[in-house]
Amino acid sequence: MAVLLLTNDDGVHASGLAALARAFDELGDVYVLAPEREQSACGHALTLHRPLRVDRVGERRFAVNGTPSDCVNLGVLGFLPERPVLVVAGVNHGSNLGDDVTYSGTVSAAMEGTLLGVPSIAVSLVSGTEFDRAAQVARLIAMRVLVTGLPRKTLLNVNVPAQPAGGIRLTRLGHRVYSEKIVEQADPRGRTHYWIGAGEPEWEDLHGTDMGAIHDGDVSVTPLHLDLTNHRALDQLGDLSGALNAQFRPAARKRARSE
């Protein structure tokens, strides 16, 4: 059977990951490689300055002393008996909507799988504990992806509302606007410390966005593309290189003559 790789950022013992493993059990040989402890909001970090250790915690289930992206690298690049045909990260305990995907270890794990050429999905439960329902949604989407594949450098970011009332909607990323980001406090010894991320966020226009779908009780499926180039800006900034070279080239020739 084909090998499927599951991971997360909530840790190898998280309820969402267990639900995902149960849901995917009949789709192939399911392997779990997940961080030994919670790695939420770790982003796309890789461990490069110390060795990674892998401990077996069950049948085809392993804990890694690293990040979600480390786990995907291990699984795709040789730790598993064969290269996986699919990477699924989740079920995350909480949403990964809008700009927040840039911080998410769950989404970053799917990014890593995509960069390594493996179709990848990130799935999150916005609130509540109905992880089995979210895992079944992920299974349905995964079965489609296994048949049709995904466009190059593209992953699917799936968010499941606590109680889906509608269907599954293709969306774009929304945009959060935070009214406050830093709270200054003092500890019992009078030393100042700060909390980042405080304040209630607001969302821009919800139409067509992942947050809009969740607001309406639909599952949101957002295709994320890993080419971050703003291709339209290449045309809009067409005069930039000429203006910069007008200053750079004379300075470079002057340095060359002096050497």
Whether 14 and 118 share a structural domain? yes
CB 199 within 8 A of CB 180: yes
The structural domain count of the chain equals 3
Whether 29 and 87 share a structural domain? yes
Q: What is the DSSP string of 135-172?
A: HHHHHHHHHHHHHH---TTEEEEEEE-SS--S-EEE-B
Whether 187 and 74 share a structural domain? no
Q: Please report, for residues 45, 159, 171, 225, the alpha-carbon distance to residue 103 in angstroms, rounded to integers and kept in the order given.
A: 10, 15, 19, 16
Whether 139 and 256 share a structural domain? no
Whether 139 and 254 share a structural domain? no
CB 17 within 8 A of CB 90: yes
Whether 32 and 115 share a structural domain? yes
Domain holding 243, by residue range, is: 231-259
Position 240 confidence tier, pLDDT thresholds 50, 70, 90: confident
Which residues are CB-contacts of 61 (< 8 A; sequence separation ≥ 6)? 12, 21, 31, 32
Whether 11 and 128 share a structural domain? yes
Burial 68-86 (b: 16+ CB within 10 A, else e): bbbbbbbbbeebbeeebbb
Whether 47 and 150 share a structural domain? yes
Whether 129 and 241 share a structural domain? no
pTM score of the predicted model: 0.88
Check residue 166 and give its pLDDT: 82
Residue-wise pLDDT for 8-21, tens only, equals 999 999 999 999 99
Residue-wise pLDDT for 105-154, tens only, equals 999 999 999 999 999 999 999 999 999 999 999 999 999 999 999 999 99
Residue-wise pLDDT for 32-74, tens only, equals 999 987 766 666 777 788 899 999 999 999 999 999 999 999 9
Sole residue written with tokens 């900034």: 237
Whether 68 and 28 share a structural domain? yes
Whether 183 and 169 share a structural domain? no
Whether 66 and 96 share a structural domain? yes
Give the bridge partners for 89, in sequence order: 7, 122
**CATH code for position 166:** 3.40.1210.10
Give the bridge partners for 28, in sequence order: none
Q: Which two tokens stand for residue 167?
A: 């269907």
